[in-house]
Structure 1
């Protein structure tokens, strides 16, 4: 009996790499190597090779840090909710969601390294932390969150790993009593995961809100906004990934869950883009002091088109696609809406950085009497107006780091049983159905298929 048949007998889906899978890993490894080379060049030349300057001290690295922190937090909340509320119908997606959360928190943490300039600065968080700084708390939560996600993922998969005889089971045995124990442990792990994820992204939002002199970030709704966009992006990423791996691997996505999760995503997007934005901005229209209305009018009618990319591309279009019942039943519509929702959250992060940094807080640097609108690499001239465009080095470093996250997900799909079976053969994804058991029926109980009783077990 082949290894693949043995896994089918065990009732556990673990995709195997073919030519396309190996080619995909090759692309990711190449991107990582190129990214490491670009980072080495940045280390040798300094942050001058990036598009950041004295006005834009945060750039692409922090924009994507915010995005991936949200993806991770939202993914863990979405994955933990079925375990906490004992919803077995949606629990089949929990291991995949936790894997995505782990990969995203790894990407977010790695994005901090090139932004700090020198990796040695990271030791300052350990040797001399300033607990008055929200960044110290964020660093601690990121580390704790990553360790928790790894342990949570192992808890959800260890019994099936034991069934497969995998070394990753670390001595765990697959017994009915053990599975019942793990179900209880998963409940308590979910009870910890949800507030931990909320704390993670709330602290990230407070890092922005507590920056001195950034009027557009000083907002009591910043934490709820960050949590809501985490829910949007986390659920959207889970849907996009599940649909793609159902198409290209042996992972089986219960199709009946897609319209239901699409409806939930539509509600999340509407609350985030419509209600919370209105709750945040409308009071500014009556704020004569502190120039709050000037800030609001600037992004409504000014040059910050990122706001409209966020609210229209990432808000209005997904809401329309997900609000119409006939469209929501179509896989392409939910997939498109999910991709656009993630793109919208990305541009919300871009808008957040630009509105905070495009206006200089002070006219000149201390002791500097004059400046220019732009200072090139190596210039000692003080920049007096914000202008940021990511450089090729930043893009290559970022692509390399994101590739590490994609590699984590790919290896997780290969070596972890993310879709547990029930002791029966499991149907495979769309590209594998030509070789699947033709007598298998469509799953209705959580993703794994059960053969017809008249068909003998092979």
Structure 2
């Protein structure tokens, strides 16, 4: 194999895509340096809203990562080879998402050196410590898991990324057993990752919107929705723009699973969480019904209508579910819905202080830039351009990881390469780590 570390295998569209991602990452770095020099005052956060866009996206990307890893690992745990063609892709996406999630903690801390405290003087009574630890362990595990799934194909191509591993029949058989044990670890690890994140919210004193035993199960369910939806979106895009091939037989199957996940999350768990609260507030039939069916914020409707009703409408009919565009559209809407569930969770669930008596706390900002700080028992939050640039830069970094992973790693089994005729894509990124050829093969 004539392995290269350049962008020669990407073509013009690929190089434009890479350049755009690099520009966004650099812009995010400059915004972060500015935040470091000026402090958290340049963000929209204050003493009322001490969590904002960074934590909202942290929860979102942890869910994307956990869901993707669970979906990729369950078939391997049950010794099914049917979904092998997307297993490595799912783990790659999961790794990219946990990198983004972990890095989002850094700008939220304000001072990066605060993270050392988690390592040198951890307070194990705090769920924050457990979350910080499991994010690190989970990130290292997903990186190793992805290498395990691709190392024999890397060795077959003579790639240095195989790190001395040889491609043998006995080795592939051994890796199949190892992938079962890796899946056995991955599933509970992913469940623990997002459950702990959910418990952080559920254990916050005085935050009534979060105080529920169903927070962790809802976090797991939205991880399954968003993780599978992101896998489908990336797989469809990779099939279109790279030499990765998505089996058309898997699209309706995975679409059906996504529809089930959305229904359980939106129809059942949402009602199960909101109904007891509505019942406690009023014993009137309509008051109870409206209490758990009707939301009072736009983010609630974007979550339930855009992220629930529309995907279900596209996925419930078999004739539509067989169409790639329908499954792709439903997946995009499902991801958007989960994103706005996070907005609803933090931006509306964090506006009331757990201090209900005047004067409350200072907001941390001056009124019209003069006079004393404003005292309040509730607040509002709007992300600043600094927060948006930093967040966008980190999301671009995740996309860059996936793009380079598709370019330099074989994200589909070797059998797929041997038994399928590759379509001619002269400008596509070579998803198997080799240079694209007009005959559909590789340069090995």
- Corresponding position: 1:336 with 2:341: no
Q: Deviations over 1:204-262 (max 9, x none)?
A: 00000000110110100111100000000000000000000110111111111101100
Relative to structure 1, is the Cα distance of residues 302 and 385 closer, same or farther in structure 2, using a 3 angstrom cutoff? farther
**Contact kept in structure 2, 1:103 and 1:406, CA below 8 Å:** yes
Relative to structure 1, is the Cα distance of residues 98 and 367 closer, same or farther in structure 2, using a 3 angstrom cutoff? closer
Relative to structure 1, is the Cα distance of residues 154 and 386 closer, same or farther in structure 2, using a 3 angstrom cutoff? same
- Counterpart of 2:403 in structure 1 is 410
- Counterpart of 1:424 in structure 2 is 418
- Corresponding position: 1:360 with 2:356: no
Q: TM-score, normalised by structure 1?
A: 0.87
- Corresponding position: 1:95 with 2:88: yes
Distance 1:360 1:342 in 2: 30
- Counterpart of 1:42 in structure 2 is 35
- Counterpart of 1:18 in structure 2 is 11
Distance 1:253 1:268 in 2: 21
- SS of the residue aligned with 1:418? coil
Shift of 1:56: 1.0
- SS of the residue aligned with 1:173? coil
Q: TM-score, normalised by structure 2?
A: 0.89
**Contact kept in structure 1, 2:45 and 2:51, CA below 8 Å:** yes
Q: 1:218 aligns with which of 211, 218, 227?
A: 211
Distance 2:121 2:43 in 1: 28
Shift of 1:82: 1.3
**Contact kept in structure 2, 1:107 and 1:404, CA below 8 Å:** yes
Q: Deviations over 1:159-179 (max 9, x none)?
A: 000001111111100000000
Distance 1:216 1:397 in 2: 28
Give the number of aligned pairs.
428
Distance 1:118 1:129 in 2: 17
Q: 2:227 aligns with which of 234, 243, 258?
A: 234
Relative to structure 1, is the Cα distance of residues 297 and 49 closer, same or farther in structure 2, using a 3 angstrom cutoff? farther
Distance 1:167 1:372 in 2: 53
- Counterpart of 1:454 in structure 2 is none
Shift of 1:376: 6.1
Distance 1:206 1:94 in 2: 29
**Contact kept in structure 2, 1:236 and 1:339, CA below 8 Å:** yes
**Contact kept in structure 2, 1:375 and 1:382, CA below 8 Å:** no
Distance 2:363 2:159 in 1: 63
Relative to structure 1, is the Cα distance of residues 167 and 302 closer, same or farther in structure 2, using a 3 angstrom cutoff? closer
Shift of 1:46: 0.9
**Contact kept in structure 2, 1:247 and 1:431, CA below 8 Å:** no
- Counterpart of 2:185 in structure 1 is 192
- In angstroms, what is the RMSD of aligned CA positions? 3.0
Relative to structure 1, is the Cα distance of residues 301 and 312 closer, same or farther in structure 2, using a 3 angstrom cutoff? closer
Unaligned stretches of 5+ residues in structure 1: 5-13, 441-458
Q: 1:64 aligns with which of 48, 57, 61?
A: 57
